[in-house]
Amino acid sequence: MKVILLAGGFGTRLSEYTENIPKPMIRVGDDPILIHIMRHYAEYGHKEFFLALGYKARVIKEFFLNYKELNSDFLIDMNKGNIKFYNSPKDNWVVSLIDTGIDTLTGGRLKRMKQYINNETFMLTYGDGVGNVNIDKLINYHKSHGKLVTMTAVRPAARFGELTIVDDKITSFKEKPQLEKGWINGGFFVMEPEFLDYIDDDNTMLERTPIEKATSEGQVMAYKHDKFWHCMDTKRDHELLEKLWSSGDRPWTKK
């Protein structure tokens, strides 16, 4: 199944990094977070990717153009100009890099990918969130209900300690727990091509009118994922992912 990644935003809340590179190219460990996301899908056999680019699209295009060279050892015959590669990466993916416009919003980026979908069911996610979502179960759930959209719902960790208060008395305190109530959009969508008809143009934000309208018509179902998920939205988020990677605790890399 084809996988579309929204990788064109400005990443303004990570301006420490995104002045020079787009948000999906911020590294966690040795690789951009974009590669971590793609490897997760590839673990489940989905290796055909369509990247919806915008801000600093050239950086991502150049990265993939040089991917083999940058991730291999090699010998150069300076006389003949031949190159022999050693230990080349085994990421046997097919990657399409599509510039969807510098100012296009998320819905518009998706709409511009219509010609590449070929009227098939597809997957969609953002270029800044990782999780150990079971892709096989997600797809099977989508197929079971027959609606246009399946959205993965997650419960992230609270940014601050969570209090339970009864009559002004604190009855429980948990330091940065996973939220017990309230689910949020975690990305990792499965969609039918007909959903694209809900998107008007480049100025449409996916998460507003299209999703809201489809939801009001009963066309959006939630796949609940209560295990690891983390969005790299701020410098603090990036530092947490780096800490997990350095410690060897890398839950998004495992099925």
pTM of the predicted model, to two decimals?
Answer: 0.88
The pLDDT tens digits for 125-160 are 999 999 999 999 999 999 999 999 999 999 877 654
The pLDDT tens digits for 198-237 are 999 999 999 999 999 999 999 999 999 999 999 999 999 9
Residue 236 burial (CB < 10 Å; 0-12/13-18/19+)? exposed
Q: Average pLDDT by consecutive 10-residue portion of the chain (255 residues)?
A: 95 87 94 96 96 96 91 88 84 94 96 95 96 96 96 77 49 51 87 97 95 94 93 92 92 77
Q: What is the Cα–Cα distance from 159 to 87, expressed in whole angstroms?
A: 41
According to the model, what pLDDT value does residue 173 have? 46
